[in-house]
Each structure stands twice: as C-alpha cells, then as structure tokens.
C-alpha cells in the first residue's frame, strides 16, 4: 500500500457538532471528564477505547455509545413500523450519504445487487477519514465496522454489511445485506497496515482484531 498525504477537511459547524457529540459520548463511556477537541481528539478517544480492552469489549463499549445517542423507544418504533424492504434500505442509504460525511469523508449512493435484485441501497465511501487518520485496521473493524453493522442489523432491524478496502481506504456500505460471520469475512484476516500503523509488527493478521 502506498502512503499518501492525509486528506484535509474543513469541518463546518454541523460537522463539529457531530464530532463533539460522539467525542463526548465516548469520553463519558470511558469515564473521562475532558473531551479533546476536533476530529483528532475523536480519534484519540477511539484509541483510548482499545487500551486494556479485548476486541469484544471494544465493540461492546461502542455499542453502548451508539445506544446512548438514539433513544431505545425510537429504535423499537423503527423495528416495529418498518421492514427492511427495498424502499427502507434505499432511504437508509440516502440518509447515510447525508449524515456520515463528517465521520468518513466523501460518500455517495450507489446501486448494488441483493438476492439477484438491483437497488440503490449501497453507499460508496471514497476514502474513509476515520481509517485514514487512525491508520489502524483493528480500529476500523472493532470500533466502526462491527458495531455499526450490528447496530443497524439488530437495533434498527435493517441489515447492513460494510466492506472496507485497506488498500485505498475506501469502503462500501450495503443496506439490506446481512453481514457475514467473522470466519467468512476477509476483513477479519487483515494484516497490520505497516505503512500507517505505529505499532505494526508484521504482515500477519492484526493481533488487535
């Protein structure tokens, strides 16, 4: 993988508000009173989640954070009132393309095929801001991919599969597609990103996944 200069972002007030909200929730879950500023502070808090926790504990903590942002009665109402049909999945892709740019950078809705049927319920992340700035495959999987997949699939009742590309830092989100189990998901066999991860030791599967 070739190293490149990090993408520069000019966060507006709404972006900064989302960054602060998520940073505040993570800091609270960690028992920290201070919230480090900006996106770099958000990433530093994410790294703190990894300290002293195994992969499952990391994923569980992020799940608690996500649950603290959206009230339980809202999640229950969505699961009760909406089925994961094509329209609902396409609407989720559209909302994701509008709401997650502060987190992952430029993204757009794309057509995908699910069970032999084409629908616009995919989201293409051009170059994931979180993966680029963290430089860590385990952070991508434990603190983003798995918690997000599980949250949408189990809490919203809308299946989601995320497919990160560790070569160019792009990622594909597919609403309406059940995520595969870890033993059938190539992301869980990802080696350390030796060109970006400061603690990378070898090219075997990242030990923190």
On the question of pLDDT at 107 being above 90, the answer is: yes
CA 105/CA 101 separation, integer angstroms: 5
Average pLDDT over residues 26-37: 95
> Domain limits at 90?
54-181
Average pLDDT over residues 153-158: 94
Q: Please report whether residue 188 resides in a domain.
A: no
Q: What is the pTM of this model?
A: 0.90
Q: Please report whether residue 125 resides in a domain.
A: yes
Q: Please report whether residue 35 resides in a domain.
A: no
Q: Please report whether residue 49 resides in a domain.
A: no
Contact 19, 39 (CB under 8 A): yes
pLDDT band at 209 (very low <50, low <70, confident <90, very high): confident
**Each residue's pLDDT tens digit, 47-75:** 999 999 999 999 999 999 999 998 888 88
Rg of the chain's alpha carbons, rounded to an integer?
Answer: 17
Number of domains in the chain: 1
Q: Please report whether residue 28 resides in a domain.
A: no
Q: State how far the alpha carbon of 205 is from the alpha carbons of 8, 116, 117, 191, 209, in Å.
A: 30, 33, 34, 4, 8
Q: Please report whether residue 137 resides in a domain.
A: yes
On the question of pLDDT at 25 being above 90, the answer is: yes
């Amino acid at each position: 993988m070739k190293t490149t200069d990090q993408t520069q972002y000019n966060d507006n007030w709404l972006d900064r508000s989302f960054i602060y909200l998520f940073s505040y929730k993570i800091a609270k879950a960690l028992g920290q009173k201070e919230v480090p500023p900006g996106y770099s502070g958000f990433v530093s808090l994410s790294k703190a989640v990894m300290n002293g926790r195994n992969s499952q504990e990391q994923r569980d903590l992020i799940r608690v954070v996500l649950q603290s942002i959206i009230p339980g009665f809202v999640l229950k109402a969505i699961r009760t009132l909406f089925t994961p049909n094509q329209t609902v999945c396409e609407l989720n892709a559209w909302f994701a393309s509008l709401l997650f740019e502060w987190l992952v950078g430029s993204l757009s809705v794309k057509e995908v095929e699910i069970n032999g049927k084409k629908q616009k319920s995919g989201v293409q992340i051009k170059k994931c801001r979180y993966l680029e700035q963290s430089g860590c495959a385990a952070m991508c999987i434990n603190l983003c991919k798995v918690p997000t997949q599980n949250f949408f699939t189990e809490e919203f009742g809308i299946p989601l599969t995320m497919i990160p590309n560790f070569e160019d830092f792009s990622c594909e989100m597919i609403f309406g597609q059940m995520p595969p189990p870890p033993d059938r998901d190539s992301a869980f066999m990802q080696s350390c990103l030796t060109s970006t991860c400061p603690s990378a030791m070898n090219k075997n599967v990242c030990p923190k996944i």
